[in-house]
Amino acid sequence: MIQDDPKSSPHLVIIGGGFAGLWAARELARTPIRITLLDRGNHHLFQPLLYQVATAGLSAPDIAAPLRHILRRQSNVTVLMAEADAIDTANQSILLREVAALDYDFLLIATGATHAYFGHDDWAAHAPGLKTLDDALSIRRRILSAFEHAEVETDPAKRRALLTFAIVGGGPTGVELAATLAEIARHTLRNEFRRIDPRDARVLLIEAGPRILAAVPDVLSQKARKQLEKLGVEVRAGSPATRIDADGVCIGD
């Protein structure tokens, strides 16, 4: 157990070094408290640019910086890389994976959110989400491998399958990913293969709701759709994914 000295200043533990946890710690720089910022990773991640890592436009260090480095000048913060497993509120203690428990006087939970498979968790094996660097690197590997495998595939049907990319979810991340993927296929990889034409790649954006980017006004959503289509993306709105497995994705109307 990591014990607190009862005479010392109050101890705030922040779980999560994302935007919320990191900014909370920074805002408290001039307060007379001790802060422990706990994260299961060693870095702060700029999630809005994950799609760029997933599509090979940026590399991992471009969007992730070590929390220790960011907070090196803030003397009231200790950074700890550990995963919080459970919280014992009665004893004001956090149980950590592989590290001794940590006492707190105040606790801030800023562990973020994760994507949902709407009750189909088995889809995760075939359709990774995009929340972490590992997710982005895995998607990048899959995309680039698909082009490589298509280059050596002689069966036209299999080649077509390899060059068909389906993105489920027409929110901002899905739209950005689809547009970038289409740009890569049409422009970036244009002259890099001999047996396939990357411009033959199909990029499908599948959205259950009646339109993509549901959070923005209809006029902007329509504009985005037109721009995607100009890039060669096939937008399927009003089409929920009903099955995802190793062979592909089924969509309903």
Ligand X SMILES: Cc1cc2nc3c(=O)[nH]c(=O)nc-3n(C[C@H](O)[C@H](O)[C@H](O)COP(=O)(O)OP(=O)(O)OC[C@H]3O[C@@H](n4cnc5c(N)ncnc54)[C@H](O)[C@@H]3O)c2cc1C
Tell me which residues are annotated as active site. Answer: 176
> Rounded to whole angstroms, how far apart are CA atoms 87 and 199?
52
Q: Which is nearer to ligand X, 18 or 232 (CB)?
A: 18
Residues 170-199 that bind ligand X (CB under 6 A): 172-173
The long-range contacts involving 128-135, CB below 8 angstroms and separated by at least 24 positions, are 130/50, 130/51, 130/54, 130/173, 130/177, 131/47, 131/50, 132/41, 132/45, 132/50, 133/43, 133/45, 133/50, 133/53, 133/60, 133/63, 133/64, 135/50, 135/54
Element (H, E) at 191: none
CB of 239 to ligand X, least distance (A): 22
Q: Which is nearer to ligand X, 162 or 175 (CB)?
A: 175
DSSP tally for the chain: helices H, then strands E: 8, 14
95's CB contacts (< 8 A; 6+ apart) are 84, 85, 86, 87, 88, 101
* Closest CB to ligand X: residue number: 18
Q: Which is nearer to ligand X, 39 or 207 (CB)?
A: 39
Angle at 220 between CA 218 and CA 221, to 5 degrees: 60
Of 18-26, 99-107, 159-167, 202-210, the segment contacting ligand X by CB under 6 A is: 18-26
CB of 38 to ligand X, least distance (A): 5
Angle at 179 between CA 128 and CA 187, to 5 degrees: 115
Q: Which is nearer to ligand X, 38 or 150 (CB)?
A: 38
From the list 10, 29, 31, 48, which residue makes contact with ligand X (rule: CB under 6 A)? 48
CB of 73 to ligand X, least distance (A): 21
Of 37-45, 152-160, 188-196, 220-228, the segment contacting ligand X by CB under 6 A is: 37-45
From the list 26, 28, 41, 105, which residue makes contact with ligand X (rule: CB under 6 A)? 41
Q: Does 16 bind ligand X (CB under 6 A)?
A: yes
Measuring CA to CA, which residue among 203, 176, 175 is closest to residue 189?
203
Of 33-41, 55-63, 217-225, 233-241, the segment contacting ligand X by CB under 6 A is: 33-41
Site string for ligand X, 110-149 (x = CB under 6 A): xxx-----------------xx------------------
Q: In this structure, are residues 179 and 228 in contact, taking their beta carbons and an 8 Å threshold? A: yes
| Contacting positions for ligand X (CB under 6 A) | 15-21, 38-41, 47-48, 50-51, 83-84, 110-112, 130-131, 172-173
